[in-house]
Structure 1
């Protein structure tokens, strides 16, 4: 069969050669290849949004002084969620300015553009001004239509209102619940540029600016100062500019976030993002039922304790009668546990509980905060009770109370799955974990276990994602190895059989390249063709 295939191949080549020679004798010229048209730089739109490519990007920069560009990927869920908001923002801005335009780029399809602008994830939004291609500004605003519009308007117009008279200042300060006014004796000073840069990004706040001596006097200021005026709590907070070091933008940004929040913030869907963006690591939570008068009376003492810890501990009220079941679940509580306090460090996730039976007063709240900050109170670790049959099945059941004893048993190699009952990925790998335990159930030196991290907390480390897989090799050193490879039975087995390390893949034999057409190949190579 191989011989006939070879013969057919040779005859076909000969026929092609003879036909070619005959055509040449007739003098028929081969048709000229059409010259491809150069790629068009035409600017097309979808939903008032420019669709940009490598070929028309430069033209878009030339024709629009301000250009916000979204780099997206068709398969990206976050990109799909942003799409209607981005289109709405484009519609809102349609009649604002001919100089401003929103655009989008398919990042995976336009790899050169994505690489040029350092796009490493999607969606990525970059703002171009005055045709400057080399230094786009990262978009830092909210990713909803109104927030996108506010962010852009800050960059098109002045980011702070110039205040000239006492009447203007008074009207400006009274116009919002929170306003920030920069008092600078010299508006050409570089500190002013730093202040305005912060104002451009902080689109949820309103900024003013003045250099008028009468306004310095009116507000009892003798040096450059940024003042946050607010219609709650203490009414005003001052940030004096260091006369030697100048204005520190990071410090001022943190100051504005901290002092724009109420001393006591109620946790809800509107405030949750601000609570976590405040960059205050310690949060003190008062759990009360707002429908009960005795519970509401506790707010007074809670609020009295707050000023001494501003910037160090964030005071938060959680209404157990509201839609906050997920918060209660996270702390392992029920609504009937209120009123009570919990303090959490959001970086370490360590939680602290006050002594039982104490009243919630300004004095007791202050004392509890001081004791936690000084290390006098140990973290509270939740744990389920040890099940009676925890070690009767192939997968051993660990809880906080037996974790140390089992995981750090010097005679065992222990492989633990840390999971959450609601986690989809955990559910998907559950059967594989059962199969793994069944495979090694007769190995005295290997233990396959699992721990519900939503109901059990550990002092050794915090679990931040699910599922998390950790291997505790036998020995006295208390080593912990995090498993980050494929979650299938074969790979798990290789990992265990190799002592908690995946073996290096065997080197592949180098591939022999196929010969080029027309080469003097051996008969075997030609038969393969």
Structure 2
């Protein structure tokens, strides 16, 4: 074949390839699918279904955030995520942070079963099929430390007394696993826990001289601390082995001070301790007589470790939200309150005695043994509670209004901070105005964060309940659409909707739930 003809054929072939997107021409990508360059934004890889494969190949450790541009929690995470990326970039080129715009990448959200935002998944060694769910902190150093402990070692191997003592001296809380055989499965359990206990430093040893130095004769996990009793031992059960859940609870309990002062730094750990009973001493730290009460409070704490968490709340600090939750005024300090975090039941001393170790101990035992009854919060009844279309209910007038046998009472249980409640407020006002002249119908509302009702737990906001006239104390929970037309049909039909009416979507998500007033309590406290 002569030269000119061969040249023409080559040009035609190149043109065809370019049109099919497989050549270097402007009509197609410069690389094969999966080989597209991965863009970056603030040091974070920006991924799509075309570039995820390449990112997994190039980075042995990859944490991917699936986010939505409109998501408030995603926006709150963004600056911390950027800081974490910078921290890791300074340490290693192998560990990277990435993000995926979930709504714009439905293929990826479906592949990785993303149902909420933000969702973070950790990919290791290019494995696309089984990423680990990220359940760690949402602040920069915590994110970076979580990744460090998965990519590197979560523990320090201790070979001699000098190394062990140096580790103990360098940190407030150190956990050392003493195992005679480092190949034992209990060691794997210990290492797995160390990956996630980010606020503690871990060591590991099998050296006989270290067993001897610390007075041990069998496998034991020891927590060393620079406060309270200084040390706590957790022997490994010789028959059952090391239980990760039991060890985790032990470490959380014993890594905390016997008495913890409540503030923004300590509150996450207070709730993470998973101790359901909390005893709170409210004092004014600016007053010397109040400070003197701490001695008796601390003296009472040791026998209750693991059962009751002792907490000090300074009423002179920025803790008004805590006072409000317990229905207290700063002037009432010093005083005690006891709360069970699972039931949210609150208790107060029956007598106002001096805060001594004996008095604190007696109060604790009385609550735990059921001798003290819980108290319920209630606001005072407003003088004009019934002067507006929407009647105002509180704990003290709820019974007489809700169970009035001559009235049909429709009540909105709300939280002042609830966005869904705020959005529904105009409709609720319009409903009350519409039925203002109906003597047998009352439209009312009750702030469920400031008024507690026995037998009527409220788990989501807004919660709507209908109390029909007549005997029997009947209660109907309203679960349909929250618009004026549907509300009216419900009332006109005697507290039920025609069967063809569509059911409402599931209850409002976080944060408008009181399975969150303890979540709300955790966030605010």
**Which of 435, 440, 443 does residue 440 from structure 1 map onto?**
435
Q: Is the 8 A contact 1:348 1:462 kept in 2?
A: no
The Cα shift of 1:428 comes to 4.0
Partner of 2:210: 215
Distance 2:422 2:89 in 1: 47
> Secondary structure of the equivalent of 2:426?
helix
Task: Choose 110-119 or 448-457, whichever is displaced more.
Answer: 448-457
Alpha-carbon spacing, 1:82–1:262, altered in 2? closer, same or farther (3 Å): same
After superposition, give the CA deviation of every residue in 1:189-247 in whole Å (9 maximum; x if it has no partner): 11111110111111121000011122112212222111111000111111122211111
Distance 2:232 2:166 in 1: 19
Name the TM-score, length of structure 1 as normaliser. 0.85
**Which of 292, 302, 305 does residue 307 from structure 1 map onto?**
302
Partner of 1:176: 171
Partner of 1:111: 106
Distance 1:219 1:375 in 2: 42
In the alignment, is residue 340 of structure 1 matched against residue 344 of structure 2?
no
Partner of 2:507: none
In the alignment, is residue 416 of structure 1 matched against residue 411 of structure 2?
yes
Partner of 1:270: 265
Partner of 1:249: 244
Partner of 1:349: 344
The Cα shift of 1:444 comes to 4.4
Task: Choose 84-93 or 253-262, whichever is displaced more.
Answer: 84-93
The Cα shift of 1:113 comes to 1.4
Gaps of 5+ in 1: 1-30, 508-529
In the alignment, is residue 131 of structure 1 matched against residue 126 of structure 2?
yes
**Which of 117, 122, 127 does residue 117 from structure 2 map onto?**
122
After superposition, give the CA deviation of every residue in 1:336-385 in whole Å (9 maximum; x if it has no partner): 11000111122222111102332211111111111111111111112233
Partner of 1:406: 401
Query: Greater Rg, structure 1 or structure 2?
Result: 1
Distance 2:321 2:241 in 1: 44
**Which of 142, 164, 167 does residue 162 from structure 2 map onto?**
167
> Secondary structure of the equivalent of 1:148?
helix
Partner of 2:35: 41
After superposition, give the CA deviation of every residue in 1:394-449 in whole Å (9 maximum; x if it has no partner): 33332212212322344543211223455554444333223212322344443211
Alpha-carbon spacing, 1:428–1:79, altered in 2? closer, same or farther (3 Å): closer
Alpha-carbon spacing, 1:194–1:479, altered in 2? closer, same or farther (3 Å): farther
Q: Is the 8 A contact 1:78 1:123 kept in 2?
A: yes
In the alignment, is residue 83 of structure 1 matched against residue 94 of structure 2?
no
After superposition, give the CA deviation of every residue in 1:228-283 in whole Å (9 maximum; x if it has no partner): 11000111111122211111111111111111111110011111111111111111
Partner of 2:219: 224
Distance 1:319 1:506 in 2: 52
> Secondary structure of the equivalent of 2:103?
coil
The Cα shift of 1:463 comes to 3.4
Q: Is the 8 A contact 1:68 1:102 kept in 2?
A: yes
Q: Is the 8 A contact 1:410 1:475 kept in 2?
A: yes
> Secondary structure of the equivalent of 1:133?
coil
**Which of 477, 494, 498 does residue 482 from structure 1 map onto?**
477
Alpha-carbon spacing, 1:412–1:147, altered in 2? closer, same or farther (3 Å): same
Task: Choose 57-66 or 480-489, whichever is displaced more.
Answer: 480-489
The Cα shift of 1:501 comes to 3.5
Partner of 1:27: none
In the alignment, is residue 367 of structure 1 matched against residue 362 of structure 2?
yes
Q: Is the 8 A contact 1:85 1:143 kept in 2?
A: yes
> Secondary structure of the equivalent of 2:171?
coil
> Secondary structure of the equivalent of 1:67?
strand
Q: Is the 8 A contact 1:284 1:316 kept in 2?
A: yes
Q: Is the 8 A contact 2:34 2:53 kept in 1?
A: no
Partner of 2:521: none
How many residues are aligned here? 477
Distance 1:347 1:116 in 2: 36
The Cα shift of 1:332 comes to 1.8
**Which of 110, 135, 148 does residue 140 from structure 1 map onto?**
135
> Secondary structure of the equivalent of 2:50?
coil
Gaps of 5+ in 2: 1-15, 22-27, 503-525
Distance 1:162 1:220 in 2: 19
Partner of 1:3: none
**Pairing of 1:504-523 with structure 2 (within 5 A):** 504-505=499-500
In the alignment, is residue 185 of structure 1 matched against residue 218 of structure 2?
no
Distance 2:499 2:492 in 1: 13
> Secondary structure of the equivalent of 1:108?
helix
In the alignment, is residue 449 of structure 1 matched against residue 472 of structure 2?
no
Q: Is the 8 A contact 1:349 1:462 kept in 2?
A: no
> Secondary structure of the equivalent of 1:93?
helix
Distance 2:253 2:35 in 1: 48
Distance 1:471 1:477 in 2: 13
Name the TM-score, length of structure 2 as normaliser. 0.85
> Secondary structure of the equivalent of 1:496?
helix
Q: Is the 8 A contact 2:279 2:309 kept in 1?
A: yes
Distance 1:506 1:361 in 2: 61
Alpha-carbon spacing, 1:385–1:145, altered in 2? closer, same or farther (3 Å): closer
Alpha-carbon spacing, 1:503–1:191, altered in 2? closer, same or farther (3 Å): farther
